[in-house]
Structure 1
């Protein structure tokens, strides 16, 4: 019998009834606040760690932050559908595209374009999924904070595990994905 090993899912399974402060990674739990939003908590806990002596690289790795912009950032999806599944979002807690200031909306698209180039270079996929789910009825898991999913896709990447067992098998752990993506984004900017 084959066994699947997916240690990153442990956090999801053990907090299925609701994390006390969603979005605060264990290594960044010194942050004392709670903004009641997984993404706002994530960025606040990373910033707090940096302000209190943790190196930016260590704090951003702990939080899965791949790239920061002036108004938006890119972070790993903690429960990815594919290796390389990231999200692009504004720092501001907004729930609609129409609420974004023009410069924020432009940066969101600029980072989405950069993400496409990075995923193409790193994973050589056959295609991509980029999408926004606005509102709970549209499938947004975090309806209050707009975020764009971005992931590489391959022909045939849906197999019996996904269709029959409702299980995704990912060949790369989140730490490795973060490191490789971070290096790729840095190389693209040069």
Structure 2
């Protein structure tokens, strides 16, 4: 008789399914919300303004759009698929895909709002550091390449443990709505 913890015999196709659901030594952290991102939810099919989620966000409420702060030319929004709690995106209202397409005023406000996002995050959640960046183009990692956005990602000592490295999973200790409210209330002028 075969012990139920022994691996199935790869050469015997009749035994493969009988081990489905049998406990093994792996712990699993299920993150089904990530499947929406993987399958392309909220990613524009093309570069048109009507398809772009960053163009639609300013028309709704701050709560529904996860908007933390609105400026004259740019706005700050929580990332719907964050790397860390408090992961912010600074977006121009105007639909442009490249940093070189910003006006001087838009570029200045994008920088200013990024600075204030860092100041606010330091005040409300005390990160030890930040990752800031613009992913220009799909091959550079832009999930929504059609609309420029700057990432402001707070980092804490030890926030990258075995989960993202081995399990390709990120544990987030705060709901998006709670993070949006905390940051909006604590925004440093």
For normalisation by structure 1, the TM-score amounts to 0.77
Q: Count residues in correspondence.
A: 159
8 Å contact kept, 2:131–2:154: yes
Q: Write the deviation string for residues 97-137 of structure 1: whole angstroms up to 9, x where unpaired.
A: 11111111111111011011001111111110110011112
State the partner residue of 1:39: 54
Matched with 2:88 is: 86
- Pick from 63, 67, 70 the counterpart of residue 69 of structure 2: 67
Q: Which runs of 5+ in 1 are unaligned?
A: 24-33, 47-58
Q: CA deviation at 1:5?
A: 7.1
CA displacement 1:71-95 (0-9 Å, x = unmatched): 0000000011000001001000101
- 1:128 corresponds in structure 2 to 130
RMSD of aligned alpha carbons: 2.0
User: Within the alignment, does 1:13 sit opposite 2:28 as a pair?
Assistant: no
TM-score (norm 2): 0.77
Provide, for residues 5-62 of structure 1, a one-character-per-residue CA deviation record: whole Å limited to 9, x for no partner.
76xx53x53575444xx37xxxxxxxxxx71112112223x1xxxxxxxxxxxx2111
- Structure (1 or 2) with the larger CA radius of gyration: 2
**Partner residue of 1:100 out of 99, 102, 106:** 102
For 2:146, the equivalent position in structure 1 comes to: 144
